[in-house]
């Protein structure tokens, strides 16, 4: 999914415009059995892989750019689902993901069915050079699946 044919020379990603990377099933949405993953970069791929365990229940919103941020798309998607996971590659402590989770809770509190979950890298000063330690430090599809299970059970 990360590999694509090289786009035409005029191809651009519009700044400040998020895209739905994966939509939830309308039946699951009507029943209230869905959650939203707000992410970007590798988080999109981790979320897609994790969502295979929850067919039709997960919408993935790819932010594509962080500044400018398409906060209107985040709010609209949050209102559809009521359960949100903000997924990032960076360490969580004082991160963009924590800030975004706070903004979502501030602006969408009345429609949330659960606290906004966040998932990111472990709070370490640098990325580990050992492959196994790096695997433990960074988010993965398996870690996202665990967070989604907890979020959906709320």
Asked whether residue 5 is domain-assigned, the answer is no
More confident residue, 133 or 49: 49
The DSSP result for 9-23, as a single string, is TT--PPTT--EEEEP
Asked whether residue 7 is domain-assigned, the answer is no
pLDDT tens digits, 24-61: 999 999 999 999 999 999 999 999 999 999 999 999 99
Domain count of the chain? 1
Q: 105 lies in which domain range? A: 19-153
pLDDT number for residue 59: 99
How many angstroms separate the CA atoms of 91 and 88, rounded? 8
Asked whether residue 11 is domain-assigned, the answer is no
CATH of the domain at 28: 3.40.50.920
Asked whether residue 6 is domain-assigned, the answer is no
- For the chain, give the mean pLDDT: 93
């Amino acid at each position: 999914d990360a590999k694509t044919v090289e786009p035409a020379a005029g191809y651009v990603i519009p700044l400040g415009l998020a895209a739905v990377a994966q939509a939830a099933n309308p039946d699951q949405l009507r029943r209230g059995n869905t959650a939203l993953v707000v992410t970007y970069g590798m988080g999109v791929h981790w979320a897609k892989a994790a969502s295979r365990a929850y067919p039709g229940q997960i919408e993935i919103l790819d932010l594509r750019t962080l500044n400018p941020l398409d906060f209107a798309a985040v709010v609209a998607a949050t209102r559809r689902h009521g359960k949100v996971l903000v997924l990032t590659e960076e360490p969580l402590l004082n991160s963009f993901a924590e800030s975004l989770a706070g903004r979502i809770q501030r602006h969408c509190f009345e429609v949330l069915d659960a606290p906004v979950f966040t998932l990111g890298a472990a709070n370490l000063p640098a990325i580990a050079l050992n492959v196994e330690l790096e695997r433990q430090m960074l988010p993965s599809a398996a870690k996202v699946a665990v967070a989604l299970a907890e979020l959906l059970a709320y």
